[in-house]
Structure 1
Amino acid sequence: MHRPLASEEQARADFYALFARLMASAPDAKLLDTIAIAGEFPPDGDPALARAWSDFIAAAAVMDPEALREEYQALFEGMGAAEVSMYAAFFLGATAVDHPRVLLRADLARLGLGAADHVSEPEDHWALLFDAMRVLVAGGAGRASATIEEQRRFYQSHLQPGVAKFFHAMKAARSANFYRRVADLGLAFEALETESFRRD
């Protein structure tokens, strides 16, 4: 058994779990309801993240699930070309010669985070990257949390180079409505993570 997480670490893991879920598919009515009744941000929390969180839960309270499903499809699954790529390599200008998935696969294997057999998406899908960070922060399934140094190395190697570009692209996308609030939340969260890992 691994020891319970400190409240700050649990909050980080919860944010990564939320982003992983929101990138995997559009939230259904049940998830929207759960988000809408989530509590306000702690008064001593980061002001930018608190504002983004408040706007996010307010948007969830009024969002129609069917409209959100259509929004997700237009943004990330569009016929021909999606408005926003779900793959981190896109935001790094990756080439076939030096593709970041090669390094990502090696790091995932080293950390014991290889993709499950039922997962068909490439490893650099944002849902999978966010979920990998969740596991590194929280542990689970018989494994302890990774060290801060391991978390930093993975984040700085595989998320930090493209995650802000991803959320900015999402925010600017023509079809974005609810996901514009997701982008604001993501930008506020990644700014905190980036600064925290820089200081530690």
Structure 2
Amino acid sequence: MNDSLHFSTPDDREELARAEVYGLLAELFYAPPSLELYEQLQVAPTVAPAPGAFLEASWTELVAASRRLALAQVREEYAALFVSIGKPEVFLYGSYFIAGALNEKPLVALRHELQRLGLERPDTVAETEDHIASLCEVMRYLIAGDDLAVSNLAQQQRFFNAHLRGWTDALWTALADHPRADFYRAVSLFARDFFAVEAQAFDLIEA
């Protein structure tokens, strides 16, 4: 899931920026940030990595959090929020927010959609396909992949509306309101703003 996509010379910087944001969110939710990624966040310019001033405030907060907190603290926070032998503090799976339980009908529908797109979960990935990191990876592929029959705006709109739009606000709110969330509160607020921009853009296609 963490393998980087190799982008060929992009014609559209905005599309590349969108793909990179999805990739960043996938990395941050799949596992605590690596030392390399965390160091990149700490020195990142406080200008949104995707067009639109609306994102800049929450992006600045995310960069500020990475500068304020040690990586060890972020790793501890990730474990406290998302890793548990029993029930984690915050679930990262769409089925939980949509159906109230894991491995429910939303996951079945998602698997059918991924099969249609010719995508499947790598054997090395333990998380089910409705994990927010996996879904962000799919969006990154639909933006930046080489197969234009799959990686195009219509597929992005369809996938986002069907498998992300209906539940991710609840995830961002759960994280933003959680008393133990600090770095991941900043991540969630940036993700909320980015997803709002995405939803608005997809709505304009339908207008």
Q: Same fold per TM (> 0.5)?
A: yes
- Which of the residues 93, 110, 120 maps onto 1:87? 93
Shift of 1:82: 1.2
Q: Note if 1:54 corresponds to 2:60.
A: yes
Q: Note if 1:150 corresponds to 2:152.
A: no
- Which of the residues 109, 118, 121 maps onto 1:112? 118
Counterpart CA distance in 1 for 2:115 and 2:136 is: 16
Counterpart CA distance in 2 for 1:127 and 1:59 is: 20
* CA separation of 1:97 and 1:189: change in aligned 2, threshold 3 A: closer
Shift of 1:39: 2.3
Match of 1:14?
20
* CA separation of 1:99 and 1:4: change in aligned 2, threshold 3 A: same
Counterpart CA distance in 1 for 2:65 and 2:160 is: 28
* CA separation of 1:76 and 1:42: change in aligned 2, threshold 3 A: closer
Give the TM-score normalised by structure 2: 0.88
Shift of 1:78: 3.1
Q: What is the root-mean-square deviation in Å for CA atoms of aligned residues?
A: 2.3
- Which of the residues 163, 169, 182 maps onto 1:164? 169
8 Å contact kept, 2:26–2:137: yes
**Paired residue type of 1:149:** A
Query: Residues 28-43 of structure 1 correspond to what in structure 2 (within 5 A)?
Result: 28-41=34-47
**Paired residue type of 1:93:** A
Counterpart CA distance in 1 for 2:62 and 2:160 is: 24
Shift of 1:96: 8.4
8 Å contact kept, 1:87–1:126: yes
Query: Residues 116-195 of structure 1 correspond to what in structure 2 (within 5 A)?
Result: 116-139=122-145, 143-144=147-148, 146-195=151-200
8 Å contact kept, 1:94–1:100: no
Q: Which moved more, 1:1-10 or 1:60-69?
A: 1-10
8 Å contact kept, 2:95–2:103: no
8 Å contact kept, 2:31–2:78: yes
* CA separation of 1:196 and 1:6: change in aligned 2, threshold 3 A: same
Match of 2:3?
none
Instruction: Summarize deviations over 1:141-174 as a string: whole Å, max 9, x none.
Output: xx34612111100000001011111111111112
Counterpart CA distance in 1 for 2:175 and 2:119 is: 27
Q: How many percent identity over aligned positions?
A: 34
**Paired residue type of 2:134:** L
Counterpart CA distance in 2 for 1:43 and 1:124 is: 25
8 Å contact kept, 2:44–2:63: yes
* CA separation of 1:33 and 1:2: change in aligned 2, threshold 3 A: closer
Unaligned segments of structure 1, at least 5 residues? none
Counterpart CA distance in 2 for 1:43 and 1:88 is: 26
Unaligned segments of structure 2, at least 5 residues? 1-6
Q: Which moved more, 1:160-169 or 1:29-38?
A: 29-38
**Paired residue type of 2:135:** L
